[in-house]
């Protein structure tokens, strides 16, 4: 039987991690996978996580199962972190998932149960794993224009033009903030126009929010999501705690579904429990418990928010430094978009040959579409990247 299997193409982001490891050069720079790194290249355990882990080790008396959709306290704390008071709780259903990817997968499984004919509309470009999960589940998919490779900003007119072809019951997949891979984001006014369109078309929005707190701040980054939740009858949200709590390997995420009525929310909740049971039964608890402890405790929360803000401002500083170095070297403002983008990523707009040249000649590793992870830089490597960009003729 197993001899029937054929190989799947490697995930481009994960393949880059392996290629970087194999490169013997000392001066190499890893701008690949979306993992935060400090100026020393470490991915630290956040202070509040360490404290919570210590407290949990002391206090935890059992490792018995918690619940099919996770701890209700985790669900409540995460709904609040993302949605604040944008909607009444009775219209919400939610389930803890293994990471943000688990939430994306469960959201799409839920769509498949509710409307197997739904076309999933994804931004061009989007996170590559969106595409492969949608394809794997056999759901129809279409792309809408999103990133203008000339201006390196959102092509909002193109986006709205393409979405006109979406039919009632289709799903519009959006990035809540810090668009991956482009770094270009919708303004609040544009979110409002998207809400108008969704309302009129009878489509359902699905928001992947994996970087809340990495863009303009915890509250601001949830602005678009809250706006849609406040105005629309339905919304699916796949959220990750990997980045903003720095707990990548703990696999902590949540799927939140907003329904039109409390009665529909109840049935949706039942379906989320069913899906968890079929796919992996009980979701992981350790990371979710730490997140809950932090969000519920004033001192831990203040420390977490302060550290997250340091991380955010550090990335912004690197963006500004890179844009300034490129302004100086090119005597132009054509790389200022790097400072205008938000989150971990920016798409530089380099060709595959230019990306290959930067890797071969300067040891700089970025995803083939020229996505850089800004957090992979530090004050010393920014000039190295700026030189490489200029030398490659980007």
Where does this chain bind ligand LMR (CB under 6 A)?
13, 33-34, 127, 129, 180
Nearest distance in Å: CB 13, ligand LMR: 4
Residue with Cβ nearer ligand LMR (100 or 198)? 100
Question: In 277-342, which ranges are E strands?
Answer: none
Q: Which residues contact 150 (CB under 8 A, 6 or more apart)?
A: none
Q: Which is nearer to ligand LMR, 69 or 180 (CB)?
A: 180
Active site residue 210: yes
Q: Are 240 and 100 in contact (CB under 8 A)?
A: yes
Q: Which is nearer to ligand LMR, 127 or 147 (CB)?
A: 127
Measured from the CB atom, the residue of 375 and 382 that comes closer to ligand LMR is 375
Q: Which of 30, 162, 170, 208 is catalytic?
A: 208
β pairing state of 29-30 and 364-365: parallel
Provide the CA 42 distance to its chain's centre, in angstroms.
21
206 neighbors 126 (Cβ within 8 angstroms): no
What are 349-353's contacts with CB under 8 Å, separation 24+?
Answer: 349/149, 349/152, 349/394, 350/389, 350/392, 350/394
- Closest distance between ligand LMR and the C-beta of residue 112, in Å? 22
37, 52, 118, 243: the catalytic one is 243
Asked about 208 being catalytic, the answer comes back as yes
To the nearest whole angstrom, how small is the minimum distance from the Cβ of residue 246 to ligand LMR?
A: 13
| Contacts for 82 with CB less than 8 Å, ≥ 6 apart | 209, 212, 222, 225, 226, 237, 239, 256
Which CB sits closer to ligand LMR, 183 or 283? 183
Taking a C-beta distance cutoff of 8 angstroms, is the pair 205, 172 a contact?
A: yes
Contact 19, 3 (CB under 8 A): no
**From 210, 238, 288, 350, the catalytic residue:** 210
Nearest-CB residue for ligand LMR: 34
DSSP letter at 392 equals H
The question of whether 59 is a catalytic residue gets the answer no
Residue with Cβ nearer ligand LMR (129 or 346):
129
Helix (H, G, I), strand (E, B) or coil at 131: helix
Q: How many helices (H) and strands (E) does the chain have?
A: 15, 13
Question: Per DSSP, which regions of 146-278 are E strands?
Answer: 147-148, 153-154, 171-175, 204-209, 235-240, 253-258
Q: How far is the CB of 101 from ligand LMR (least distance, A)?
A: 7
| Catalytic residue from among 37, 96, 127, 239 | 127
How near is the Cβ of 344 to ligand LMR at its closest, in Å?
8
**Half-sphere CA count of 384, side-chain side, radius 13 A:** 18
Q: Of 31 and 288, which CB lies nearer to ligand LMR in the complex structure?
A: 31
CB of 123 to ligand LMR, least distance (A): 14
Cα(376)–Cα(8) distance, integer angstroms: 28
CA geometry: angle 336, 339, 342, nearest 5 deg = 135
Nearer to ligand LMR, 210 or 232 (CB): 210
Is position 191 annotated as part of the catalytic site?
no
CB of 34 to ligand LMR, least distance (A): 3
Least distance CB 119 / ligand LMR (angstroms) = 24
Residues labelled as active-site residues: 127, 208, 210, 243
């Amino acid at each position: 039987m197993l001899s029937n299997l054929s190989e799947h193409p490697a995930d481009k982001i994960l393949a880059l991690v392996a290629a970087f490891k194999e490169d013997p050069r000392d001066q190499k720079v890893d701008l690949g996978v979306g993992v935060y790194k400090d100026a020393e290249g470490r991915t630290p355990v956040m202070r509040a996580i360490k404290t919570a882990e210590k407290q949990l080790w002391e206090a935890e008396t059992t490792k018995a199962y918690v619940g099919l959709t996770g701890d209700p306290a985790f669900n409540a704390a995460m709904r609040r972190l993302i949605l604040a008071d944008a909607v009444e709780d009775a219209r919400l259903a939610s389930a803890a998932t293994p990471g943000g990817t688990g939430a994306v997968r469960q959201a799409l499984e839920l769509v498949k149960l509710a409307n197997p004919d739904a076309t999933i509309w994804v931004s061009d470009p989007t996170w590559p794993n969106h595409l492969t999960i949608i394809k794997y589940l056999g759901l129809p998919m279409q792309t809408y224009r999103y990133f203008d490779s000339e201006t390196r900003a959102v092509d909002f007119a193109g986006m709205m033009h393409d979405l006109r072809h979406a039919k009632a019951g289709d799903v519009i997949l959006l990035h809540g903030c810090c668009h991956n891979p482009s770094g270009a984001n919708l303004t609040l006014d544009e979110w409002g126009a998207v809400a108008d369109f969704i309302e009129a078309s009878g489509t359902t929005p699905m928001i992947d929010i994996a970087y809340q707190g990495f863009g303009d701040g915890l509250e601001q980054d949830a602005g678009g999501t809250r706006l849609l939740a406040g105005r629309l009858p339905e919304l699916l949200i796949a959220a990750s705690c990997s980045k903003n709590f720095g707990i990548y390997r703990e696999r902590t995420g949540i799927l939140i579904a907003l329904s039109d009525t409390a009665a529909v929310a109840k049935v949706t909740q039942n379906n989320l429990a069913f899906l968890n049971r079929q796919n992996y039964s009980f979701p992981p608890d350790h990371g979710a418990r730490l997140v809950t402890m932090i969000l519920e405790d004033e001192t831990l929360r203040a420390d977490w928010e302060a550290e997250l803000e340091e991380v955010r401002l550090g990335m912004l500083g690197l963006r500004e430094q890179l844009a300034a170095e490129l302004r100086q070297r090119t005597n132009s403002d054509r790389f200022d978009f790097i400072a205008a983008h938000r989150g971990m990523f920016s798409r530089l707009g380099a060709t595959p040959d230019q990306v290959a040249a930067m890797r071969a000649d300067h040891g700089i590793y970025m995803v083939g579409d020229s996505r850089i992870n800004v957090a992979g830089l530090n004050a010393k490597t920014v000039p190295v990247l700026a030189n490489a960009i200029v030398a490659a003729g980007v």
